[in-house]
Chain A
């Protein structure tokens, strides 16, 4: 999905998987045409999205999915988490039907986001420095997508994501809701805001792709969801020490040192010194990791537990020429990586910024879901695999996975 001007060659990559209930209608239609002895054709093999709409599926939700990171590919979600086909645990790397795919009930629209992630191309565009700036690209890309598919735009749309998407989702949802508002003044304000912060610089080509303030967006979000999100980095980081202390993994001295650092982080964040705040958070993460889990290399293997070995497994699939061809990946798109380091680096000063006020803005307008993986405290090694993964996943700190 191109975002902005042709010269920039900035494109978001979308993977759409239709819901079972809608495919069932397609299947019935195909059975009907078979009775008429219609030979299968290439066109029948890949019906365009426009043929998929009937009034019967108008109420089937579409979940737009953003992975975290920052910089992680949303195809991890597609091929490891809730997509129709996932790579089997410990298998040969081939795809298998996911019996609990979210596509059983809803359609999924996986977006490689922000620009520069996975199969998306940043082209000549400067990478976004904030989640709020990136949101302009997403809303602009979704506008293209739904403008061309009004039958999909009419279905209940939900913006969802995981971990760092705890910042992406509220920012993008807030912008999309303002731009879809019935009130023209709200739309104009949102558009001006998008132009001011849009990723392009020099007139913000992404914002220019948005509809004029006189008309609302082609789509309206009906909800937002975040799983194990990083939303308010300062307060979330401050809870890390108490958790580890309660688990008996750090001593009181380390806990107090952590508390001082948390207070420092909080005051830096209050002053808007985001880069410094992020550095403090990184220091907290690394020192607490050392204190609690030691420098023992075997601990590092925890994050390699098969359950989270998403990157390696999805990489072996998506780096095949067949997969690129099958997915119609742009020839200019880079080799797939589970995490785009350049995107994460560009967002450096965004990492300590809280999106909690934006969550409040969004939840005032549409339902908001926050969900958390909870680990059994009795399986103590297990409890920390998630913690460890979180630390290693882009230096982002998640600590909402404990129980008891």
Chain B
């Protein structure tokens, strides 16, 4: 059992259409070299009014907070966006991302959520909360992959029929760690 692309999907025949926007035939300009630091409200045009109107004890601290740049993206070295924290509130923007941020800019989204977790949620947390591709994070990812593979193989060996083995292997991948995903007795 090699890479984790083995899930026996039968849905492969329904492939998604090529993107009319991202296809080479349109060659839309996606300039990254104009990403000067922007006023923070640029990234949340529609939400800025209600955020500015939020009334909570930390509001003065938030208003005074200075935006910082997210770490450079591995793909092109451009900052992934901005992040501003104060009074318990953090507002982050992710560049070149649309509605589904982690799907559009996976690296920047991960750096963003990790920065917030590390600096705001759990300031004492210093362990493997990698903001980029640290060796420690890579080792952990490789070990996790090995562990998932081990589970998939063990599940396959422990089942008799080929179909059941495929399901068990899929189970190990899909459910990832054998978590119960449905009902537990009330």
**Using a CB–CB distance below 8 Å, which chain A residues touch chain B?**
1-2, 4-6, 11, 13-18, 20-21, 23-24, 26-28, 30, 40-42, 44-49, 52, 59-61, 63, 76-77, 80-82, 84-86, 88, 90-106, 119, 144-145, 148, 156, 158, 160, 162-163, 209, 222-223, 225, 227-229, 231-232, 235-240, 243, 298, 301-302, 304-310, 312-313, 315-317, 319-320, 322-323, 325-330, 333, 354, 356, 359-361, 363-364, 366-376, 378-379, 381-382, 385-386, 389-390, 393, 398-404
Contacts and interface: CB of A to CB of B under 8 A. Distances in A.
A304 B11 contact: no
**Size category of the binding interface on chain B:** 35 or more
Given A45-B151, A63-B113, A1 B54 contact: no
B1 interface: no
Given A15-B175, A45-B178, A97-B4, A372 B44 contact: yes
A227 B54 CA distance: 17
Nearest to B143: A24
Contacts of B55: 360
A247 to B, nearest CB: 11
A82 B109 contact: yes
B72 interface: no
Contacts of B170: 322-323, 325-326
A229 B173 CA distance: 30
A382 B21 contact: yes
A47 B173 CA distance: 13
Interface string B23-51: 00010111110110010001111111111
B174 A104 contact: no
B69 interface: no
Contact of A156 (B45, B121, B175): B121
Contacts of B100: 76, 80-81, 162, 307-308, 310, 373, 389
A45 B171 CA distance: 10
Contacts of A235: 46, 49-50, 53
B14 to A, nearest CB: 4
A376 B105 CA distance: 13
Interface string B90-107: 111111111111111111
B118 to A, nearest CB: 9
Given A95-B4, A367-B88, 15 more contacts: A40-B158, A59-B127, A98-B106, A105-B137, A302-B21, A306-B16, A316-B14, A327-B182, A330-B182, A359-B54, A360-B56, A364-B58, A369-B91, A386-B99, A400-B44
Contacts of B95: 374, 376, 403
A382 B27 CA distance: 11
B146 to A, nearest CB: 5
Given A23-B177, A90-B15, A106 B117 contact: yes
B134 to A, nearest CB: 10
Contacts of B20: 298, 301-302, 304-305
A369 B119 CA distance: 11
Nearest to A6: B186
Contacts, number: 457
B98 A385 contact: yes
Q: Which 10 A-B pairs have the closest CB atoms?
A: A316-B11, A46-B178, A386-B98, A100-B106, A373-B97, A40-B154, A16-B179, A306-B19, A45-B155, A27-B147
A326 B121 contact: no
Contact of B17 (A49, A85, A306, A389): A306
Contact of B116 (A100, A369, A386): A369
A40 B183 contact: no
Contacts of B161: none
Contact of A368 (B89, B137, B140, B143): B89
Given A102-B110, A306-B22, A231 B50 contact: yes
Contact of B182 (A48, A328, A398): A328
A86 B124 CA distance: 31
Nearest to B176: A17
Nearest to A366: B88
Contact of A42 (B18, B127, B155, B166): B155
Contacts of B154: 40-42, 44-45
Contact of B93 (A15, A16, A106, A374): A374
B61 to A, nearest CB: 11
B11 to A, nearest CB: 3
Contacts of A94: 5-7, 9, 12
A81 B28 CA distance: 24
B130 interface: yes
B129 interface: yes
Contacts of A145: 184
A312 B17 CA distance: 10
A225 B91 CA distance: 10
26 contacts: A1-B182, A1-B183, A14-B182, A16-B181, A18-B179, A20-B143, A24-B147, A40-B154, A45-B155, A100-B109, A228-B99, A312-B16, A317-B11, A325-B171, A326-B170, A359-B54, A360-B55, A364-B58, A368-B89, A372-B44, A373-B101, A378-B30, A385-B98, A386-B98, A400-B43, A403-B38
